[in-house]
Structure 1
Amino acid sequence: MNRTVNRNVILTCALTGAGDTAGKSEHVPVTPQEIADSGIAAARSGASIIHIHVRDPQTKQGSRDTELYAEVARLIRASDVDPVINMTAGMGGDLVIDPENPTTQLEGTDLVNQTERLKHVEALRPEVCTLDCGTLNFGEGSNTYISTPDMMRAGAARIRELGVKPELEIFDTGNLWFANVMYEEGLLDDPPFYQLCQGIPYGAPVDAGLLHAMVNMLPETAQFTSFAIGRNQLPWVAQSVLAGGHVRVGLEDNLYLSKGVKATNAQLTERAVGIIEGMGSAVASPDEAREMLGLPVAVEERASRHATHQSFTDSALTQEA
């Protein structure tokens, strides 16, 4: 596939992630209000898409609580910005085993089926949600992220039924191979939306040659984002634009603006905007991103999704009362 420099770039800001980072930077948002405020600031700084994880406000660790997602979405939709809302559906895939007794699950295991992973997506119907496209040895130790072919097919089918766009999380070339199989099987609508993730141990390493090799494997109609973590995050903005793709920054993947200088999501977004525009490209508005990804652009359709977020939050508050 021959892709040229991307001239209209979708910019995603991944706000908080699920990693144990809240204690490493005071800028990592934790509560729904903090996550929403950080997303609103990123959108005002130029982000086309806001990628949302939520955290337990008490433990500060990642959560799958639908009510937390609903509150974040409600706060963003009540603001003066209208970014594409992208919710993770990856929580619930962690398997930590005892290496001496592999049938024993250790603390840190959070393993549920695909239906459970999509509960908040079913309740809230965000415009985009993630679909992790393979099993991965996640870092050192004995933590494996589980996403089997059966799980992926079930997830793709259910996400499609819900009218949500799957963002296909590609951690290595085998993941990309299987995502392409799902596309060939008709489980993914055009244009399929791939995210090429680099530098996450132990998936695809940070390597520009590997990025271009993966881009050459994409379906002709695909839209793609690529990103790298840590200190490679901001340089990878340029790499992805050069490869014909979109970009992602944010505190989920990197805590620093420069060496020793901790960043906010808005600052990382502003820096990415500068890189994109400095290359002669433009950052897509949220509605331009919707059009490129085949999402509803009509105000009426989006208003229906916004009402779903509000309705769920109102219902949850009534039950609590």
Structure 2
Amino acid sequence: MRDEVIITCALTGAGDTVGKSEYVPVTPEQIAASAIEAANAGAAVVHVHVRDVETGQGSRDVALYREVVRRIRESGVDVVLNLTAGMGGDLVIDDEDPLKPVDGTDLVNALDRLPHVEELLPDICTLDCGSLNFGEGNQLYVSTPDMLRTGARRIQELGVKPELEIFDTGNLWFATKLVEEGLIDAPPLFQLCMGIPYGAPPNPALLQVMVDMLPENAQWASFAIGRNQLPWVAESVLRGGHVRVGLEDNLYLSKGVKATNGQLVERAVRIVEDLGATVAGPDAARRILGLKERTR
């Protein structure tokens, strides 16, 4: 079990959750306020997506990221910034003509997923380490080996820490190759993502298998979606990992009780401390993860 545990709060995601809870933040002001709430509740890291303010759908608009980051930085609240770089990998195909992308497709190359990272230079950005059948229907998430090498190389040049998003064991296999090839600076940071259809199911035995596959010097966290989110905090801590909670992955504090991001972080803090571990603050998180010092 870890002595110091970093809590990440994934604030909003890009999923179709806006109509399911009034607490899911949409506007840059709401997302930044939710980040500050999560930090004050005990999250050392906030994971940021942005949404189109009119539709509530996920967005790659650099201006939206710029406003969220500005509001967080100007708030005076100390928190490690983790911006998603996974948007731009969605491919929805047509049943009759698989080569014809249909509505919902947002597929761009590796570098076109990074302009907000290049401009804003967060502490961390995500790198989704493989392609995936994303739920039912004909939606795929596309992230090929060549795309990942290109993205990893650029993120390394920027001095940003990539969080290697692992949705299944094959993703982990390839991510360790990125480490071996020198495209990921030490210590590598892995996020083991459980329960996303159709990636790795939220099975504790499978989590242990994935932990056993990690490079020796790796820092890692794990989360599970939906009702498994809060129990998974304990699973991750007991197996030596950090944790993630937040409305990107789960909308409820308990059955029928909708949560805010701050409430989910507070519950995670309680679980971590009840297990006998210490919740890491932002400075401790920077030390543990080997993050570069920022001047802005």
TM norm structure 2 = 0.99
Give the equivalent residue in structure 2 for 1:179: 175
Give the equivalent residue in structure 2 for 1:314: none
Give the equivalent residue in structure 1 for 2:118: 122
Give the equivalent residue in structure 2 for 1:104: 100
SS of residue matched to 1:194: strand
Quote the offset at 1:74 in angstroms: 0.9
Equivalent in 2, 6, 9 of residue 13 of structure 1? 9
- Does residue 132 of the first structure (1) align with residue 128 of the second (2)? yes
Q: How many residues align?
A: 296
Give the equivalent residue in structure 2 for 1:224: 220
1:58-83 Cα distance to aligned partner (Å, 9 max, x none):
11110101111111111111113111
CA–CA distance in structure 2, aligned partners of residues 126 and 67 of structure 1 = 15
5+ residue gaps, structure 1, are 307-321
Give the equivalent residue in structure 2 for 1:56: 52
CA–CA distance in structure 2, aligned partners of residues 285 and 75 of structure 1 = 20
Give the equivalent residue in structure 2 for 1:313: none
SS of residue matched to 1:101: coil
What's the % identity of the aligned pairs?
Answer: 69
Equivalent in 279, 282, 290 of residue 286 of structure 1? 282
TM norm structure 1 = 0.91
CA–CA distance in structure 2, aligned partners of residues 38 and 181 of structure 1 = 36
CA–CA distance in structure 2, aligned partners of residues 254 and 109 of structure 1 = 24
CA–CA distance in structure 1, aligned partners of residues 148 and 218 of structure 2 = 18
RMSD: 0.6
1:243-271 Cα distance to aligned partner (Å, 9 max, x none):
10000000000000000000000000000
CA–CA distance in structure 2, aligned partners of residues 128 and 189 of structure 1 = 12
CA–CA distance in structure 2, aligned partners of residues 294 and 283 of structure 1 = 17
1:101-122 Cα distance to aligned partner (Å, 9 max, x none):
1111110000000111001001
SS of residue matched to 1:60: coil
Which region of structure 1 is more displaced relative to structure 2, 94-103 or 219-228?
94-103
SS of residue matched to 1:154: helix
SS of residue matched to 2:162: strand
1:284-312 Cα distance to aligned partner (Å, 9 max, x none):
0101000111113xxxx42x2x3xxxxxx
- Does residue 193 of the first structure (1) align with residue 189 of the second (2)? yes
CA–CA distance in structure 2, aligned partners of residues 157 and 150 of structure 1 = 11
CA–CA distance in structure 2, aligned partners of residues 145 and 99 of structure 1 = 17
SS of residue matched to 1:141: coil
Quote the offset at 1:100 in angstroms: 2.1
- Does residue 35 of the first structure (1) align with residue 31 of the second (2)? yes
Quote the offset at 1:99 in angstroms: 2.1
Give the equivalent residue in structure 1 for 2:249: 253
1:127-149 Cα distance to aligned partner (Å, 9 max, x none):
10000000000000000000000
CA–CA distance in structure 1, aligned partners of residues 270 and 25 of structure 2 = 24
SS of residue matched to 1:169: strand
- Does residue 47 of the first structure (1) align with residue 46 of the second (2)? no
CA–CA distance in structure 2, aligned partners of residues 63 and 100 of structure 1 = 28
* Runs of 4+ with >4 A deviation: none
CA–CA distance in structure 1, aligned partners of residues 208 and 214 of structure 2 = 10
5+ residue gaps, structure 2, are none
